[in-house]
Amino acid sequence: MPDERPVAIEARSLCKQYRVYRKREGLLASIKGLFNRQYEPVDAVRSVSFQIQQGEMVAFLGPNGAGKTTTLKLLSGLIYPTSGEATVLGYVPWQRENAYRRRFSLVMGQKNQLWWDLPAQESFVLHKEIYRIDAADFETRLDELTSLLEVKKLVGQPVRELSLGERMRMELIAALLHRPDVLLLDEPTIGLDVVSQRKVQEFLKHYQREQGITVILTSHYMKDVEALCKRALIINEGELKHDGPLEEIVDRFSQNKIIELQFAGTEIPGGLDQFGRVFDIHSPRAKLEVDRTRIPEILTEVLSRYQIEDVSVQERPLEEVIAELFASHRHE
């Protein structure tokens, strides 16, 4: 059944090209370069098109340098496209209308928006003035967000004294104080420990469900993606490679499945490698990675040849499949 929700974000043949100076080796080449610089065009984003409905949380995946951050910067209006079109909530981002700026937030895991030497609460007050948030609404909102993210006791502490996980939670509060309709998250859990990652995941899942906000999430942590998103866009070398449900990625890009076997007795019998790659051996358990089209044939043969107490067939981990996909495109 088609999604009948209004379109919140749409990109049509979006392109961003940079001119990059190529410095040649040697002193003489460097001197010549002062007077006659040679530039090469580099496509950061190349003819990318997609639609995201209101209230969707979509993963935007790709290796480093694929064009993810560039796309988010285009959608937030920080940079202009070389060609193509995009609309977010009906606005053209790079026109930078104030009405649009009040309706979205961009959070970048590697860049701070809070004042480093001041307590986070001072930056929050500044956001209140910038976005003209009503005083009562601001207090209610701040109390709600600091409670949900468990940082209420830390807002009076200088940002530089906070842990990385605590700072990221403060960044999320600053981004959400003005109740944006669209949230662009660029690696929000980068560098965080497992506990902090889980807290951010739980908060985002709860907040998105309660507020119906539209979210684009980029992350190298597949646990983030699997916990939060049902749909994924995969971009590589500036081009969109996949747009669809998360579970389709494994079906589309992985040729293999995993058979987990538990043998009778305490030893792993020989000869398993004739069926596929044997790995993760913990006697009497072992896993086989096999061609997904040969599953019935291999199971019949294994069950007739060996004494098996338990067997299961599993998809390969999403993280492995996506890593292989990125690597294969890199070497094409």
DSSP-assigned states of every residue in 98-122: HHHHTTEEEEETTS--S-SSSBHHH
Whole-angstrom distance, CA of residue 155 vs CA of residue 107: 18
Neighbours of 59 (CB within 10 A): 23
171/274 Cα distance (integer angstroms): 53
pTM: 0.81
State the Cα–Cα distance between residues 201 and 148, nearest whole angstrom. Answer: 12
Cα(69)–Cα(91) distance, integer angstroms: 20
pLDDT band for 331, please (50, 70, 90 cuts): very low
- The domain locations on the chain are 7-251, 255-315
Given a cut of 90, is residue 10 above it in pLDDT?
yes
pLDDT score of 38 more than 90: no
Distances from the Cα of 190 to the Cα of 106, 107, 199, angstroms: 15, 12, 13
Cβ pair 52, 8 in contact under 8 A: yes
pLDDT the model gives residue 2:
53
pLDDT at residue 270 is higher than 70 = yes
> What amino acid occupies position 117?
D
Is residue 110 scored above 80 in pLDDT? no
Q: Which residues pair with 288 in a beta bridge?
A: 259, 278
Cβ atoms of 106 and 178 closer than 8 Å: no
Q: Which of 135 and 329 is assigned the larger pLDDT?
A: 135
CA dist., res. 19 & res. 24, Å (int): 16
Within 13 A of 127's CA, how many CA atoms are on the CB side? 27
Mean pLDDT, the chain, integer: 88
**What are the residues facing 53 on neighbouring strands?**
7
259 vs 64, higher pLDDT: 259
Token pair for residue 166? 């605590």
Tokens 């977010």 map to which residue?
A: 88
Do residues 129 and 138 lie in contact, with contact meaning Cβ atoms separated by under 8 Å? no
Give the pLDDT confidence of 48-95 residue by residue, as tens digits.
999 999 999 999 998 888 889 999 999 999 999 999 999 999 999 999
Say how many C-beta atoms besides its own lie within 10 A of residue 172's C-beta.
Answer: 23
Token representation of residue 310? 């338990």
Amino acid 259: pLDDT: 92
Tell me whether strands 231-236 and 57-61 are parallel, antiparallel or unpaired. parallel
State the architecture of 7-251 in CATH terms.
3-Layer(aba) Sandwich (3.40)
